[in-house]
């Protein structure tokens, strides 16, 4: 049970760490760490190169000393042959010079091995440093490319999310809510208009059908003008009355609408 609990806690901790980790920031940190390693490698390379240079100089010095002691031994023997110095003394000094030559030769041989070893180590370190430089440059270029791709993908994701109306706080969602509100206001205004039309009186409907100038005063004015055109209308009125009474007696009683229609025909 404890093993299972520990495994579950470890998996949850790893999952939480994965969510907290930012790949871009971690990549930048990794490149900075590599640059620190490169600096340390360059310092180590410089130190190894300094040792190699010093060892080579010592090798050259011991090699030159070997030649110098041999040359001095020869010069001592030549002086003895020329009688310039005692032969026994010349042999003793020449022997000492040859011993110095041997010591210098041994030191030169030892330094020669050290020079070869240092040169090999320097060459290997230079190769590693160049490889590390190349990798850092490559990773920096890849990091720049990935950062640019990350920005493009993030912007594209936001745009696509807005276009798909996935984000309720996006502009598209706000426009949809504004559209619904405007349509609701339009529907409310139309309903008020229907209510207003249903409350129109019969008089208003008649005046609206007749058009401008169809009010009561206008009708009275037109009737007055009609009477003035006909004169006092005694003869016409009498004949009209007689004819109307005749028509009335001849048929059924006419309605007010029929009488108005007959009057309009006579006026024409």
DSSP string, 17-64: HHHH--HHHHHHHHHHHHHHHHHHHHHHHHHHHHHHHHHHHHHHHHHH
Residue 68 CA to residue 83 CA, distance in Å, equals: 23
At the top level of CATH, the class of 2-163 is: mainly alpha
Q: Count, in order, helices (H) and strands (E) of the chain.
A: 8, 0
Residue 19 CA to residue 246 CA, distance in Å, equals: 109
pTM listed for this prediction: 0.46
**pLDDT score recorded for residue 236:** 45
Residue 227 CA to residue 263 CA, distance in Å, equals: 13
Residue 116 CA to residue 107 CA, distance in Å, equals: 14
**pLDDT score recorded for residue 247:** 47
Q: What is the pLDDT along the chain (268 residues), one digit of tens a residue?
A: 556 655 655 655 555 544 545 677 777 888 888 888 888 888 888 998 899 999 999 999 999 999 999 999 999 889 888 888 888 888 899 899 999 999 999 999 998 889 898 889 899 988 988 988 888 888 888 888 888 888 888 888 877 776 665 555 566 677 778 888 888 888 888 887 777 666 666 666 666 666 665 555 555 566 666 666 665 544 444 444 445 444 444 445 567 777 777 777 776 6
**pLDDT score recorded for residue 147:** 82
Residue 89 CA to residue 45 CA, distance in Å, equals: 51
């Amino acid at each position: 049970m404890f093993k299972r609990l520990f495994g579950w806690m470890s998996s949850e901790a790893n999952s939480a760490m994965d969510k907290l980790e930012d790949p871009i920031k971690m990549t930048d940190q990794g490149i900075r760490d590599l640059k620190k390693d490169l600096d340390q490698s360059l310092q180590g390379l410089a130190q190894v190169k300094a040792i190699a240079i010093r060892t080579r100089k010592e090798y050259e010095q011991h090699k030159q000393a070997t030649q110098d002691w041999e040359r001095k031994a020869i010069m001592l023997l030549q002086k003895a042959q020329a009688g310039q110095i005692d032969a026994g003394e010349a042999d003793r000094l020449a022997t000492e010079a040859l011993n110095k030559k041997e010591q210098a030769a041994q030191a030169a041989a030892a330094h020669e091995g050290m020079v070869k070893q240092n040169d090999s180590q320097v060459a290997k370190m230079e190769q590693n440093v160049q490889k590390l430089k190349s990798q850092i440059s490559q990773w920096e270029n890849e990091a720049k490319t990935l950062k640019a791709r990350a920005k493009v993908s993030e912007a594209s994701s936001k745009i696509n999310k807005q276009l798909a109306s996935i984000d309720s706080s996006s502009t598209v969602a706000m426009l949809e809510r504004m559209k619904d509100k405007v349509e609701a206001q339009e529907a409310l205004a139309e309903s008020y208009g229907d209510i207003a039309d249903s409350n129109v009186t019969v008089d208003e409907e008649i005046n609206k059908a007749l058009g401008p100038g169809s009010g009561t005063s206008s009708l009275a004015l037109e009737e007055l003008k009609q009477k003035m055109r006909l004169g006092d209308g005694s003869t016409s009125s009498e004949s009209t009355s007689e004819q109307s009474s005749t028509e009335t007696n001849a048929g059924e009683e006419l309605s007010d609408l029929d009488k108005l229609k007959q009057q309009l025909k006579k006026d024409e």
